[in-house]
Structure 1
Amino acid sequence: MTTTLTLATIALFFLALSSASAAAAACNKHDHRALLAFKDSFPHNSFPSWNSSARCCSWDYVTCTAGRVTNLYFAGNSLTPPPIDLNGSIPASIGDFPRLESIYLGGMRSLAGPVPPEIAKLKRLQSLVITDTSVAGPVPPFLSQLRALRQLTLASSMFAGSIPSSLGRLANLTSVYLQQNRLTGSIPGSLFSRTPNGSLAELDLSGNKLTGSVPKSFAGVGFATVRLSENGLVGDASFLFGRSKPLQLIALQRNKLAFDLSGVEYPSDLTYVDVSHNRIYGSISEQVLEGPVLHYLDVSYNELCGKIPSGGFFSTFIPGDYSHNKCLCGAPLSPCKSTGSL
């Protein structure tokens, strides 16, 4: 399994990588010792550029600002820096970098074990990414101590258990990617509850075993993207839509959601909608032609009826996008009967 990083994620790491100063290559002695301790936790791996030299800010996988380590980037599928495969668990020494702002651990299936509690010491951490690994255990509640955290990615790994409601305490958290794990239970309504008004939020919980309903509190969150597909969610999710919302992508497919699509209002920035394989009823409103320009639409395998809107971007969709509904009609499906299809 792989994880698709957003442009914001990529930009964050490359910004950190580009901020290193050649004049500050001789990094702080404390950080130097912590890097060597991190290296010693993986005796079967090679860190060719990591040696006794104090100029550790020039080492691969490390970025410094003013001589302090601010970014650690370890990827098994990277070209620059060279790919690396960390075989073992994340060591406690990961918490010994007081100026650390971002951690990336990705594409390393040999990386296992839990997230160490020492990560909670990183009070300046803004981005924590652990993706495409064998890291397991619960999503740690102690992550709520990372008050500067803006992005949390624990994806395509082996995390299990419930999503801690304590993550809602993080006022700076705007991006949560927990997809493709083994998470169970309900989605905590506290998530994003302290996110400032006007901030764009991104959420991906797809490919888990979550149950219950989508929290009503999400109606007040400024989501840019919402991915909740391939879970066991039930009930109403229509409040995620809204004409004035900044929503660009919504993927709710393969759940047990049931709501009336007829009155749903579509945001002007919306380009991608997948609500297939649910229990959604009603009809597709003509209002969808007034605002967004959809590039992708799939409402198949629901209980929809009525005439499919014609014209505009609707001419680009195929029968499979509407198939297996109760009584949808009109192009690209069969023509509607003159007496009506409702």
Structure 2
Amino acid sequence: MTKPTRTSSLHTHLFLSLLLISHANSQSLQDQEQAVLLKLKSYLQSPPFLSHWIPSTSNTSHCSWQPEITCTNNSVTGLSLFNTNITLPVPPFICDLKNLSLIDLSYNYFAGEFQKAFYNCSKLQYLNLSQNSLDGKIPDDIDSLPRLQYLDLGANYFSGDILAAIRRLKELRNLQLWMNQFNGSVPPEIGNLSNLKDLNLSYNTDLVPWNLPSNFTWLKKLKTLYIRGSNLIGELPGTLGEMAALEQLDLAYN
């Protein structure tokens, strides 16, 4: 039998030390996330639909608090509280869930302006606030969410212009702004969202009459384009046929 060398013993000791540190860090993250979620439950006044959110034991984890919680590698990456009759504002501390990439708060009773607290969710890719009572303008610094791929603000009461700031959300794949009260203009700069696959501007009847910008045809990955009933006027760009990926086009009631 080969006698272990001093070097191999040191390597083994180092490996075990790193393993223990990794486990400790993982446990610390889980404890922190559980504390944030329990704080959220308390903030929402412990509604019945969260009755299964109870402090975990050594044999359980907050990652089992489904369907509201989604985890990846034992860390919370998704928070879905849709259609739960929430009326309170979104608490800023939800962004203490450092790996949160998905937030779905659709079909609730959120009111007031778009909350900039979301900007602290640095990994956020999916944000659904549709079917609420949000109003005011889309903030001009919404590009503070640079990783955003999916944004649904449909069926709210947003007004003003559809801001050109949206063009700086370079990772956007899906943009849903249907059925609001926008009473300004539509920025042609949306045509700069080169990764966009789905765009819905339908039922914005108060928009200033507008022509379909020719640079919308730069959206070479766009599969669906819905602008039904949104005060669109004039001729369609001759380059519309160059949108090779387009599968569904709805420009009715204009």
Q: Same fold (TM over 0.5)?
A: yes
Q: Which amino acid is 1:231 matched to?
A: S
Cα contact 2:193–2:219 (8 A) shared by 1? no
Greater relative CO (CA pairs within 8 A, separation 6+): 2
Which whole-Å deviations, capped at 9, do the CAs of 1:36-64 have from their partners, x for residues lacking one?
23223322733211233372221130111
Deviation at 1:146, TM superposition (A): 1.2
Cα contact 2:82–2:105 (8 A) shared by 1? yes
Report the CA distance shift for 1:200/1:117 in structure 2 as closer, same or farther (over 3 A).
closer
2:207 to 203, 207, 210: 210
Cα contact 1:200–1:246 (8 A) shared by 2? no
Tell me the matched-pair count. Answer: 221
Deviation at 1:251, TM superposition (A): 1.0
Q: Which amino acid is 2:37 matched to?
A: L
* 2: CA distance, partners of 1:104 / 1:91: 14
| 1:185-264 equivalent positions in 2, closer than 5 A | 185-195=184-194, 199=195, 201-208=197-204, 209-211=206-208, 212-222=210-220, 223-239=222-238, 241-242=240-241, 245-255=244-254
Report the CA distance shift for 1:233/1:33 in structure 2 as closer, same or farther (over 3 A).
same
Cα contact 1:26–1:57 (8 A) shared by 2? no
* 2: CA distance, partners of 1:44 / 1:57: 18
SS in 1 for 2:217: helix
Cα contact 1:27–1:64 (8 A) shared by 2? no
Report the CA distance shift for 1:140/1:44 in structure 2 as closer, same or farther (over 3 A).
farther
Cα contact 2:191–2:217 (8 A) shared by 1? no
1:75 matched to 2:74: no
1:96 matched to 2:93: no
SS in 2 for 1:93: helix
Q: Which amino acid is 1:67 matched to?
A: N
Cα contact 2:70–2:76 (8 A) shared by 1? yes
1:64 matched to 2:71: yes
TM-score (norm. length: structure 1): 0.59
Report the CA distance shift for 1:106/1:187 in structure 2 as closer, same or farther (over 3 A).
same
1:264 aligned residue? none
Cα contact 1:49–1:59 (8 A) shared by 2? yes
Cα contact 2:132–2:156 (8 A) shared by 1? yes
2:120 aligned residue? 121
Deviation at 1:114, TM superposition (A): 2.8
Cα contact 1:25–1:57 (8 A) shared by 2? no
Return structure 1 stretches of 4+ with deviation > 3 angstroms.
24-27
Report the CA distance shift for 1:236/1:149 in structure 2 as closer, same or farther (over 3 A).
same
| 1:1-342 equivalent positions in 2, closer than 5 A | 28-43=30-45, 45-46=47-48, 47-53=50-56, 55-60=61-66, 61-76=68-83, 84-108=84-108, 110-195=109-194, 199=195, 201-208=197-204, 209-211=206-208, 212-222=210-220, 223-239=222-238, 241-242=240-241, 245-255=244-254
Structure 2, gaps ≥5 residues long:
1-25
* 2: CA distance, partners of 1:151 / 1:239: 29
Which whole-Å deviations, capped at 9, do the CAs of 1:281-339 have from their partners, x for residues lacking one?
xxxxxxxxxxxxxxxxxxxxxxxxxxxxxxxxxxxxxxxxxxxxxxxxxxxxxxxxxxx
SS in 1 for 2:118: helix
Deviation at 1:244, TM superposition (A): 5.8
Q: Which amino acid is 1:219 matched to?
A: T
TM-score (norm. length: structure 2): 0.78
Cα contact 2:149–2:174 (8 A) shared by 1? yes
* 2: CA distance, partners of 1:40 / 1:135: 23
Identity across matched positions, percent: 26
Report the CA distance shift for 1:192/1:220 in structure 2 as closer, same or farther (over 3 A).
closer
SS in 2 for 1:38: helix
Deviation at 1:28, TM superposition (A): 2.0
SS in 1 for 2:56: coil
Cα contact 1:102–1:127 (8 A) shared by 2? yes
Structure that is richer in strand per residue: 1
Q: Which amino acid is 1:112 matched to?
A: A
Provide the aligned C-alpha RMSD in A.
Answer: 2.4
Which whole-Å deviations, capped at 9, do the CAs of 1:196-222 have from their partners, x for residues lacking one?
xxx452110111122222222112112
* 2: CA distance, partners of 1:125 / 1:151: 9
